[in-house]
Amino acid sequence: MRKRRGGGDAGSFDLSGPPQRLAGLPALCFSAYGVRLTDLLLLIEEVAFGRVDVRLAQTLLGRSQDGRWQGTHQELATELGTAREVVSRQLKDFERRGWVSLGRGCVTVLSPDALATLRRP
């Protein structure tokens, strides 16, 4: 067998050794593919069937720094896979409940415990 030169950071691959050395490669490739496919299906399920309030609360809790999330409602909507109006309406509901405070380009989490209770059972 001959040596092949890969592109980028992959460097070179030496295929001149015994074929047994590469015996596990197909299993490794299929395993990696399976993990990626599972992650994709979970993401699709979450976007298609997950409640927006739960996903929004998780995003605010997970991505806020010092209790503040900097960004627009549109950025949140894009990340959650929903419309800006839906996010704005949900944030207003959170604000009415006293869980968050809304400012221009900023959401401040006032009650992380209340947001955490929205997790799915």
Distance (Å, rounded) from C-alpha 68 to C-alpha 61?
9
Instruction: Determine the topology of domain 51-116 in CATH.
Output: Arc Repressor Mutant, subunit A (1.10.10)
As to burial, measured by CB atoms within 10 angstroms (0-12 exposed, 13-18 middle, 19+ buried), residue 56 is: buried
Given a contact cutoff of 8 angstroms between Cβ atoms, the answer to whether 28 and 77 are in contact is: no
Q: Residue 85's pLDDT is what?
A: 96
Given a contact cutoff of 8 angstroms between Cβ atoms, the answer to whether 109 and 115 are in contact is: yes
40-62 pLDDT, tens per residue? 887 777 767 668 899 999 999 99
Q: Residue 70's pLDDT is what?
A: 93
The token duo for 67 is: 């209790």
Given a contact cutoff of 8 angstroms between Cβ atoms, the answer to whether 15 and 22 are in contact is: yes
The token duo for 121 is: 């059972």
Query: pLDDT band at 7, cuts 50/70/90?
Result: very low
3 has a pLDDT exceeding 60: no
Whole-number percent of the chain with pLDDT over 70: 80
Query: pLDDT band at 9, cuts 50/70/90?
Result: very low
Q: Residue 6's pLDDT is what?
A: 44
The token duo for 106 is: 């900023």
- The domain segmentation of the chain, as residue ranges, is 21-50, 51-116
pTM for the whole thing? 0.62
